Amino acid sequence: MDDRAEALATLVACCSCYRSWFRQLALLLPLGLCLSNCCLPRHPAQAAQLLANVAHPERPHAGAATRRVPVSYRTQGRAHRGDLYLPSQSHGGILLVPGAAQEGKNDPRVVTFAMALARANFAVLVPDLVNVHELKVGARDIREIADGFSYLVSRSDLAPQGCAGMAAASYALGPTVLAALEADIRNQVHFILGIGGYYDLKQVITFCTTGYFREDSRGWHYLAPNEYGKWVFALSNAERLSNPSDRKTMRAIAKRKMENSDASVELLVRPLHVEGHDLFELLTNKDPQRVPKLIAELPPAVRADISALDLSQHDLSTLRARLILVHGFDDALIPYPQSKALARAVPRGQVRLYLIHGLAHVDIHGLAPADAQKILCAIDALLGEQALR
C-alpha cells in the first residue's frame, strides 16, 4: 500500500514538475492511509517506479535502462530536432511537449519526466520547439507538434502497433490538442495526457488578468492569479505589435514583471503607442466585464493568434484521442473549470477527468485520500495506454 501512496503523490508531481507533493503526501503514510476501496492500479509496481524516479531523480533508478539521444527528422520537407528517450523495449510512444521555458527540451524537469516515462517502457520524443526558448506560446507550435508526432508514430520501434500519444501541461495543452486534430495524424493519436490545461482562451485571459472566473455559466468566482501567465501572454504577443519600439518595450516590460511582479514599469509604459497601450491596458485591467471589449481592441494579429489557439473556437468532435485530464481546484494559472469545459467539448466516453482538492499549479495545501485516489486513477489510465499489456 505504501508503494501505491507514493506513486499517487508523485504522479501529479512528475506531470507538473512540483516534487513537494510527494514529500507532503508521505506525511500521511504513518496515519495508515488505506486505498482498498479506491481505484486500484492494475500495475502498481510500475506506477510506483515511474513516480519514484520523478520524485527522487538523484537516487539509483528503478525500471528499464534508458538512453537519451539527439535526433534530427523531417516531416513533409520540414526539418526539426529533438531528443529521444529510449527504453530497452518500447510499449508505446509519447510526444512530450515542453512548456514555455528558456531551456526548452533541456529543462531539468522535462528531462526528469521523460526519463521516468522511458523507464516505464515509453519511447519519448521531446521536440525542440522554436517558441519555447523565448517563453512564447503561439500558433506555429501546432504544426511543429504534429510533425514531431508524425515522426514518432512512423517508427514501429518507438510506437509498436501504432500505439502513441501526447503529453502536455498548462498552456502547452492547447496547441497539443489542436495538433492532434491535424488531418495527417488525427487517427493516429491514441491518447493525450493534459495537466492544468485550458479550453476557452478568452476566459483564461480574463482570469490571469483579473482573477475572476465562472463555473458552468454561474456568477463570478475569485482566486488570486499567478501573474506569470499574463506576462507570458505579453511576451508571446509583443512581436505582433506593428511598431518596432513597442515590440521591444513590451518584451522588456514582460521580462521585468516575470522576474519581479512588483517591479515598476511606469517609465517603460509612457512611450508606448496605441497598440502597445491597448495590450498593456488589457494586462493591467482588473474588471472582468471589460475584458471582451479590451480583447476586441487588440491589434488584428494578436486577436488572430488568440483565435487560432482557442480550443473553444474549434470543433473538437473530430478528435480521436482519448483525454486524461488532471486539474487542481487551486490552480492559480488556469482555473479548473477550463478542464471541465474541455471534457464536455469532446465526444462522450472519450475523456477521463480528475479534479483535485488541495492541488495548485505550483503547490499543495493538503491532499486528502479521496483526491489521492483520483491521481492514482490518472496514472493507471496512462499506463493502460501501452500496447504490450
Measuring CA to CA, which residue among 97, 93, 92, 67 is closest to residue 82?
Answer: 97
Domain-embedded: residue 186: yes
- Are both 238 and 288 inside the same structural domain? yes
Range of the domain at 220: 202-309
Same-domain status, 60 and 177: yes
Residue 191 sits in the same domain as residue 231: no
Per-residue pLDDT reduced to its tens digit, 14-73: 433 334 444 444 444 344 344 434 566 676 677 667 666 766 677 766 666 689 999 999
Query: 160 and 126 in contact (C-beta within 8 Å)?
Result: no
Q: Residue 236 falls within a domain, yes or no?
A: yes
> pLDDT under 70 in the chain at which residues?
1-41, 43-44, 47-48, 50-52, 54-56, 60-65, 361-367, 388-389
Q: What is the pLDDT of residues 117-150, one digit of tens each?
A: 998 899 999 999 987 777 777 888 999 999 999 9
Per the domain annotation, does 352 fall within a domain? Answer: yes
- In the chain, the number of structural domains is 2
Tell the residue number behind the cell numbers 509604459, with chain if given.
269
Which of 278, 309, 340 is a domain's end point? 309
pLDDT for res 358: 74
The sheet with strand 322-328 has its strands ordered as 66-75, 78-87, 122-127, 92-96, 164-169, 191-195, 322-328, 351-356
Q: What local confidence, expressed as pLDDT, does residue 360 receive?
A: 72
Q: Are residues 84 and 216 in the same domain?
A: no
Q: Are residues 296 and 361 in the same domain?
A: no
How much is the pLDDT for 380?
84
Residue 375 within any structural domain of the chain: yes
Q: At 48, phi and psi to the nearest 5?
A: -65, -40
- Do 195 and 78 lie in one domain? The reply is yes
Please indicate, yes or no, whether residues 215 and 186 belong to a single structural domain of this protein: no
Would the CA dihedral through 308, 318, 343, 146 be positive or negative?
negative
Last residue of a domain, one of 289, 309, 329: 309
Last residue in a domain, options 309, 336, 366: 309
Is pTM beyond 0.75 here? yes
pLDDT of residue 11: 43
User: Does residue 239 sit within a domain?
Assistant: yes
Same domain, 131 and 63: yes
**Whether residue 335 sits in one domain with residue 290:** no
Long-range contacts of 229-232 (CB under 8 A, 24+ apart): 229/171, 229/204, 229/333, 229/334, 230/205, 230/283, 231/255, 231/257, 231/258, 231/283, 232/100, 232/135, 232/136, 232/137, 232/171, 232/258
